[in-house]
Structure 1
Amino acid sequence: MWETGTSGERADRRPDRLGDPIMSLALTCAGSTKLITVSGEIDMSNAHLLTELVACACDSSAPVVAVDLSAVRFFSAHGVSALLQAQHIAVTAGAAFILRDPAPCVTYLLATSGALGDFRLNRGDGHPPRPRSTAVELATPLRADPLTSG
């Protein structure tokens, strides 16, 4: 298992428990699929490690590389870039690239960045993904502008 980061207090997010890694990666084989399980946070300090692990998984001619993102609790734009790069690496190596059960924070950022449609998604049980709302809901309903409405 690969782990990255340090623990302790950080100004931008809540403190981690002492000793907990910021991100953990695990690579397992499930039949002909290489499964990468990601937990924790994907940010600028560690997103490249995900891309590097996908490259390692593709070195062994895996027909499918699946990335389980169900345990991701923070996801940044660097994560979007890493997933796009990882997909390119897998496709270039001749492997299918699947995002498995992405956490809501991952789905939201992929949708708002316009990249969600670039990926094949799958739930962990092999079924197509459940629809998730990615729209931002307004706290108050929109009202007609009194200056322009009749």
Structure 2
Amino acid sequence: MPPPVPPVPAAHAPRVRPPAWLLLVFSATVLVVMWVLLSLYTGRQHAWMALVAGLDVAWVLRFGGWRRGIGRAALAAAATAAVAAAAQWGIIAGHIGSQMGLAPFESSLKLGLHHAWFMATLANDPLDWSLMGLGLLLAFLASR
């Protein structure tokens, strides 16, 4: 019979980390919700949030354990683009849904791709588009 193994003290216990992809999904979801709520509350697009999203995604990927390189940088840019697209979708759905008596989530399920693109081109000026593009570039460069 082997001798019993003594319990590991709490200070030396192995740390359990959540999977890196779960951190990325949680962070992106929080960013989208913050961006949509800020825009619906103030009535403005707040495209500068793409810069915040780019830095946050780069930070999450870096400290989440993703390996350095072009893959992490491309994933950061893609995640930032997904956050910006989801936020624009939510903002548009929120504005349209409020006019029809629907909640933003209900309206987002009914919104079509062509209508969303049309409304996004009307709502965003060149500065907004450039800030969103700069957010992608910032995410790419900050996560290399």
TM over 0.5: no
Bigger radius of gyration: 2
TM-score of the aligned structures, taking structure 2 as reference length:
0.34
TM-score of the aligned structures, taking structure 1 as reference length:
0.33
Q: Which has the higher contact order (CA 8 A, sep 6+)?
A: 2
Which of the two has greater helix per residue?
A: 2
